[in-house]
Structure 1
C-alpha cells in the first residue's frame, strides 16, 4: 500500500533462526518481487542447503517454482514501473468492496492471480485463510473453493505453502526443468490455464539485462481464454502473436499448455486440427505453436462438472508414540463423496504396516528405530463419475527418547572456571553455574515455579538443555497443566504436542522471551542472574530463567511430549502440576 514495489525481508531474519523457520519463511518470500537469503549477524551461514534433508529438497522446490514463474512475475514488475502498483498486494486492493478483504491478515496476493497464505507458526495446518468472491483452486491439489469463504484446518505440512489460484488465470511460466533465468529455453513457454468465463493475460518481456525497454525495446503477448462459467462446454485458448521486439527475442516459440478443466474433453484441437494430448488429475496437457488457438471440445470450467468429486479429504487421526520394536494402531479418516475408496498407508523403510479394516492400520517400528518423528502417508483412491481420484494425507509417528536428559543437545550452563563449552545463544555465551547456585539453583536440585516442582539438570559444562526440533520425550501422569522450565536465545513461540494414553494428541503453544529480557510471551520469571559467561569469562549482562505452562486435557493421562521446532527456545526441565 506504500507504493514501494520491492518491499521484502531477509529469509529467516538476519540473526538466529533454524531449519523450520528458514523453510517456512523462504516458501512465502519466493512470491515477493525480491527474495534475499542473507547471513547478517547469524551465528552460521544461511544458504538453502545448509540444514540438509528434508529442508534442502523443500527449499529447492520453491526456488525452482520461483524461476519458472518469472514470466508472470516480470509482467507485474513492468506494471509496477508504469503505475507504481507492486506485485505484492493486500486483498483490499483487488477487492475494495469486500469488508473481509480489509480485515484479512497473514495473507496477500502475488499479482492478481495467486493468493498466498503463509504458515507463521510451528504447525502443520493453517486457520483463517480468507478467499474472496470467485472460484479459487488449491495449487497443489486442484481442489476448488467458492468464495467468499474462510478456510480453517487447512493441511499444511512443512513442504506445503497454502497457495491458491484465481479462476480465469492464465499464468505464463518457463518450461518444466528450468533451473535459472540464464539457462532457460526461450523457444518454449508454458501456459498454466484455469478456465472460467472470459479472461486474458498480457505478458511483458524485454532483454532482462539492459534499459533498452525505455526506448521501446520490449514485447507484449496476449493469451485469451473463453470457457463456460459453469457446466459443460468448449474451452478455447487463443495465443496471439507478440507485439514489439527486443534484442535476443526468439523468432518462434512453442507453447506447452496445462488446462485445469476438471473434466476430460471429447477432443482437443490445435488450429482446428486434432492434436496429441493427455489428461490426468483434471488437467489437460497439450502443445501448440504460436500464434494459435487451442480448443477443448465439450470440456468444462475449472473444477469440472462435479466439483464435489474432488472435495474428498483424508486425515491421519493421531500422532502416536511408539517405542523401538513396538506397534500402534493408526486410524485414517475419509470425508466427502468417495465411493468404493481404497485406503493404504505408507510408512518408512523398515516399518511394517498391516491393515486392520475400516480405515485402521497396525504400524510396527523396527527394533533399531532411532528417536525422531517418522512420516506416514495415507493414500485414498476412488472413482467418481468415471474419473479416478487420489487424495493423500500426511502424519507422523514418534519414537521417543528415553528421557528429557537423553535429548539434551545444548550446553547452557558453565562453570566460571571453564566457560569454553557453553553456547546457549549461538554466540558462545552461557548461564553461570555459580550465579545459579547463589540464586538457589544447583545441579540435580529442585526448582519450584508455577505450582510445579522441576528437577534441574545434573551436569555442568555438558549438554543440559534441549534446543527443540520435534524431539519426543516420555512424561507420564495426570494434572491440570504441563509446566516448562527454560529460557530463550530469542523470543519465540512454538507448539508442543501432548500425547495421551488413549491415543489422542493435541497441540498447545508456549514461548520464552529472550534470556536478556525480564518478561514476555506469558512466561513467569523464575530468577534473575546478575551476569552470564562468555568465552573470555564473565559478561556483566543480566539474564533470566523462566517458566511457562500449557493446559492438559481434563481427565486424560499424559504419556509423552513432543517439543516444538523453535530452536531459539531452550528447555531445561518439564513437570506436571
Structure 2
C-alpha cells in the first residue's frame, strides 16, 4: 500500500498539483541503505524525501518550478499560525482554566519479528483551539529503525484527530521476558497552548505468567521433620510450618492486610513457596485501590520498584520493601507486620525460639478506574514474595 501527500501551491496565479509517493518497497529500500549507519532513522527519512523529486520530474515540464514549491511550506505554517493565533486570543484566555488535553495514542505493535511493522499514531485535539504546524515523531526501543523519524500532518480542528503512519523494523524475538517501550511526541502551535504532548506504550515480549505459584523459585517454609529442605536466608534457615500454622498462617490460609485478602502459598512444607524478585511479570486482571504484596526480606535492603501495566497501555509504579525477617524494625521501608512466629527451622532442627521471624505487607497505589493487566516485580533477590492481591 502507498501513501500520497497532495499539496497545492499557487505560483504566478496558476495552481500546480504535486504528489509525493512513499511506498512500502521504498521503505524497505531505505531500511537496507541505512542499516550500516548508527543514525539510521534520519538517513532513511532523507532518502524517502529525496526520492520524491525523481518521481515528479516526468510529470513536470519545468523542473525549475520545484524550487519555489520547496520554500512554500516553510512560509505557510508561519502565516497560518499567525492568523489562527490572532483570531483565537480571546478564546484562549477562557480555555486556560479547563486546560484541555492533546492526546497521543500508540496502538499495539506486532512484536513478532523479524519484520517491518506499520504503526499508526493518532493525535486527538480535545481543546477548543485549532492545532497548526503539527509534527509527529515516533521512536521504538534503542536500535529499532523507524522511517520516517517524524512527519508533518494537517492542522487539527477542535474535536478532531489526525494520524501519522510510520514503518519500523522489528528484530527477531529473544527468549525470556522483556518490555518494549514506544514513544510518540507531537509538537504544535495553538491547541491547548502547551506546544507538545507525548504518548507512551510499553509492551511485553512474552505473556506474563498467570499464577504466582508458577514463579516460585525458593523454599522458605519447612516442617520439623525435614528442616534441611529449604534455604530462605542463604544459610539454610527457614520458617517453621508448625509455628506458622499456630498463628493462622497454614498453607492456603487467608490473611487480611492493607485492605486486601492475601492467601498463604498452598505448597507443602519443603517445596517451593515464594518467588525471589527478579523482574518477573505476573498477570493480575483486576481493578482496585492498591496492589498488596506479602513478603519478607533476607537482608536489610529488600527494596525495589514494582511497575504496574494497565490494559490501556499506560503504567504506574511504586516502591516496595520488606524488613529483614528478624532483628529489623517491623515498619522499615514502610511495611506493615502481617505474620509473626516464634523461632525458626535451622539445618539441625528448630531453634531461636526467643526471637520473632516475620512476614510483612506492602503495597503500591493503582490508578483509579483502570484495569491492571500485569505487574513487573522488582529486581532484588533478597525480596521474597509469598502472595499478591488487589485491595478493592
Q: Which of these residues, 489, 499, 504, is aligned with residue 314 of structure 2?
A: 504
Q: 1:529 aligns with which of 336, 341, 348?
A: 341
SS for the counterpart of 2:333 is coil
Give the conservation status (yes or no) of the 8 Å contact 2:201–2:314. Answer: no
Q: Is the 8 A contact 2:316 2:366 kept in 1?
A: no
Q: Aligned pair in 2 of structure 1 residues 321, 359: CA closer, same or farther (>3 Å)?
A: closer
Aligned to 2:273: 464
CA contact (8 A) 2:305 2:377 kept: yes
State the distance in 2 between where 1:458 and 1:450 align. 21
Q: CA deviation digits over 1:302-343, x for unaligned, max 9?
A: xxxxxxxxxxxxxx999x899999xx998999xxxxx99985
1:473 to partner: Cα distance = 0.5
**Which structure 2 residues correspond to residues 76-475 of structure 1 after superposition, within 5 A?**
345=140, 357-358=164-165, 371-374=176-179, 397-399=204-206, 400-459=208-267, 460-475=269-284
Q: CA offset at residue 437 of structure 1?
A: 0.3
Q: Would you say the 8 A contact 1:347–1:377 is kept in 2?
A: no
Counterpart CA distance in 1 for 2:254 and 2:111 is 29
Aligned equivalent of 2:363, options 525, 549, 555: 549
User: Aligned to 2:331, what secondary structure does the other structure show?
Assistant: coil
**Secondary structure of 2:244's aligned partner:** helix
1:500–1:443: structure 2 CA closer, same or farther, 3 Å change rule? Answer: same
TM superposition shift of 1:422 = 1.2
Which residue number in structure 2 is paired with residue 563 of structure 1? Answer: 377
Report the alpha carbon displacement of residue 576 of structure 1 after superposing the two structures with TM. 0.7
1:74 corresponds to: none
Residues 444/471 of structure 1: CA separation in 2 closer, same or farther (3 Å cut): same
TM-aligned CA distance change 1:440 to 1:561, over 3 Å? same
Q: As a proportion of its length, which structure holds more helix?
A: 2
- Larger RCO: Structure 1 or Structure 2 (Cα < 8 Å, ≥ 6 residues apart)? 2
**Counterpart Cα distance in 2 of 1:441 and 1:398:** 36
Q: Which protein has the larger Cα radius of gyration, Structure 1 or Structure 2?
A: 2
Flag the 1:361–1:523 CA change in 2: closer, same or farther, 3 A. farther
Tell me, yes or no, if the aligned pair for 1:321 and 1:560 is still in contact at 8 Å. Answer: no
1:232-286 deviation digits (Å, cap 9, x = unpaired): xxxxxxxxxxxxxxxxxxxxxxxxxxxxxxxxxxxxxxxxxxxxxxxx99xxxxx
Cα distance, 1:493 vs structure 2: 2.2
Equivalent residue for 1:575? 389
Report if the CA contact (8 A) 1:371-1:471 is conserved. Answer: no
Q: Kindly indicate whether the alpha-carbon contact (under 8 Å) linking 2:136 and 2:184 is maintained by their aligned counterparts in 1.
A: no
CA spacing shift, 1:342–1:481, aligned 2, 3 Å: closer
- Conservation of the 8 A alpha-carbon contact between 2:202 and 2:314: no
Matching of residue 484 in structure 1 with residue 298 in structure 2:
no
1:344 Cα deviation from its structure 2 partner: 6.1
Helix, strand or coil for the counterpart of 1:468?
strand
Equivalent pairs counted in the alignment come to 241
In 1, Cα distance between equivalents of 2:112 and 2:252? 29
